[in-house]
Structure 1
């Protein structure tokens, strides 16, 4: 434990330093100049500050004020004063001193008080270390949990890729478009990351769609479309029972990304802000990428045509603020589109 002693009288420094030498595992640094002591304390940590109150260049209260920092970050302060004035002692305690002694110093009292303050300091440091260790362990456990959630999402997405030709790079692009919209809307970094990781699960319910409908090269009949639309509820039912926050968010996305802002969507016909924001975000990202990608039943739209479609359907199919957010980040949209190109993609430029 490192103890700093500050007193403008040399004999007092010698006396207190010798007394501190009686305590085990203590190193003493003594200063006769308060300003030199202040400079040292600003540059070096210590565990106890024994500080004279009356000094010519800087009194004890001014020393504590100049040292600055939060009280919990400063070392404990033992103020030593020759004044019998109760008001002075009260001011010392109110301004950051933890304890005080009256000169002339009683050796037994000095050792008892410094020993107790150092023991308290050791206990405080031990608690801080334990808190830091616990925080680190919680952080590791949280990271492991998120890694498992992301692994689960990846495995489920891979499972859907075996059945749905529209996945692959599509889920990467639409997830990043979704994250881009979330960022532009001012969502936190954590919320953006959650959307990025959960959005790829939006169509996981297609694992329950029959192949003759899912893989049909032409347009679906009304009856086939009814069956296809069941994938929103199927995906929700697959994911909703999970206690993992990421999968619960994915369940909401799966259930609501086909709702329309005007209430004409499915499966529940939700309208406006009754649709969860993540559903409104993913609806824009998903449709935009679907329009600009090749499908078994259509060619890719041009970027200009897809932009026009989003703007024309803003307020009806799509939440206007989500459309505007995507279009405001157009250079980033193009970068994402280029980064996650389909193999041998034939979509329009």
Structure 2
């Protein structure tokens, strides 16, 4: 037979006679603890076994029942214990005051045993229901958090898989995905307090932006190998074909958006990045020659991250540039290729981006 755990009631009264009457009434059914003063009641209420219900005398010397109640509600460990006031004051005003401060019930002396037992039983049943509901809510919240974490992981893995699929067409990008993702996140965080960007770059936006960044070149899967993997300089005709990867990437993501019932924020950002990360601040970029603030914030951040990584990386047609050389090129592109405020933030924290590059450096080929 499983052991039955009795519910615990704490009776607080400065009169030993009253304690005896209530204890004898309740002990056959419940575990009873007693206290003859408010201070003793507070000590007992905070120790195991924690009371499931407190029956609290109002008129006590030193600390009265109302003061004890205030202390109970101020302590996180006792604030949810239901309290029944027990008092000789039988006025309506006294009863209303007791209920107004937050007691669950109000019993007047001399007590009527069947009434006390019924009210105690009712309040303990209500507490059990509240406890069950609280535990159920905690369980559901934990399950929701778990499912959301799983969904986030699946989403991230799917993005990485798509990005690596594009990488297989352009094998020299190596750790480009990890590096650019790191640059994008850091640059967005550095811009978060800037008055021009603070309204856009909240924490959730930055999280989704960093997650979307690996898809910036997804459109390269639509570029022929002869152009994408050409070791030398592209002809003007080949370059025009290469530039179509921006629009191809945006179209691919747009097709994915049509398959879902409501907008997905990270897909919106991914589409912006894929479509617009080759636009330039002065309007000389592609595919649409957008200029200035007409270029989405996400794409402006990605443009700077992408160019920085391209310049420091080895390609079949070029050797990697030094950080000093790249710093000068980025600075020269301020207000021409790149958003000037973003360049200022990038150069102010230049060492941070160099550290990311060093941490995810491509292996040296044999």
Normalised by the length of structure 2, the TM-score is 0.86
Match of 1:34 among 30, 38, 44: 38
* CA RMSD, Structure 1 to Structure 2 (Å): 2.4
Q: Distance in 2 between matches of 1:99 and 1:71?
A: 21
Candidates 109, 112, 121, aligned match of 2:127: 121
Task: Name the structure 2 match of 1:194.
Answer: 208
Greater than 6 Å deviation, 4+ residue runs = none
CA contact (8 A) 2:281 2:338 kept: yes
Alignment gaps of 5+ in structure 1: none
SS at match of 1:49: strand
Partner of 2:64: 59
How many Å apart are 1:119 and its aligned residue? 0.8
Do structure 1's residue 236 and structure 2's residue 250 form an aligned pair? yes
Shift of 1:316: 2.8
1:235-266: CA deviation from partner (whole Å, max 9, x where unpaired):
12222324465444322321222222333332
Q: CA deviation at 1:71?
A: 12
Between the aligned partners of 1:57 and 1:326, the Cα distance in structure 2 is: 65
Q: How far 1:167 sits from its partner (Å)?
A: 2.1
Question: Who is 2:150 aligned against?
Answer: 144
Contact 2:219 / 2:245 at 8 angstroms: preserved in 1?
yes
Residues of 2 paired with 1:30 and 1:328: CA distance?
Answer: 67
- 1:184 maps to 190
The residue aligned with 1:265 is 285
Once residues 19 and 283 of structure 2 are traced to their aligned partners in structure 1, the CA distance between those partners, rounded to angstroms, is 81
1:104 pairs, out of 110, 115, 137, with 110
Distance 2:44 2:312 in 1: 65
Which string of whole-angstrom CA distances, capped at 9 and with x for unpartnered residues, describes residues 120-149 of structure 1? 111111111111111122122212212221
- State the 1:69 CA deviation: 5.0
Alignment partner of 1:79: what SS?
strand
Q: Secondary structure at the match of 1:35?
A: helix
Q: 2:341 aligns with which of 308, 318, 321?
A: 321
1:89 aligns with one of 95, 99, 113:
95
Q: Which residue of 2 aligns with 1:208?
A: 222
Secondary structure of 2:169's aligned partner: coil
Q: C-alpha distance in 2, partners of 1:344/1:50? A: 76
Judged with a 3 Å threshold, the aligned counterparts in structure 2 of structure 1 residues 2 and 328 are, in CA distance, closer, same or farther, namely farther
Cα distance in 1, alignment partners of residues 269 and 141 from structure 2: 26
- Provide the aligned length of Structure 1 versus Structure 2: 344
Partner of 1:298: 318
SS in structure 2 opposite 1:318? coil
Measured in 2, the distance between the counterparts of 1:227 and 1:72 equals: 71
User: 1:50 and 2:55 equivalent?
Assistant: yes
Match of 1:8 among 5, 14, 23: 14
SS in 2 for 1:54: coil
TM-score of the pair, normalised by structure 1: 0.90
Asked if 1:338 is matched to 2:342, the reply is: no
SS in structure 1 opposite 2:154? helix
In structure 1, what is the Cα distance between the partners aligned to 2:17 and 2:153? 63
**1:206, distance to aligned residue in structure 2 (A):** 0.3
Provide the rounded CA distance (Å) in 2 between the counterparts of 1:239 and 1:285: 21
Contact kept, 8 Å, 1:177 with 1:326, in 2: the verdict is: no
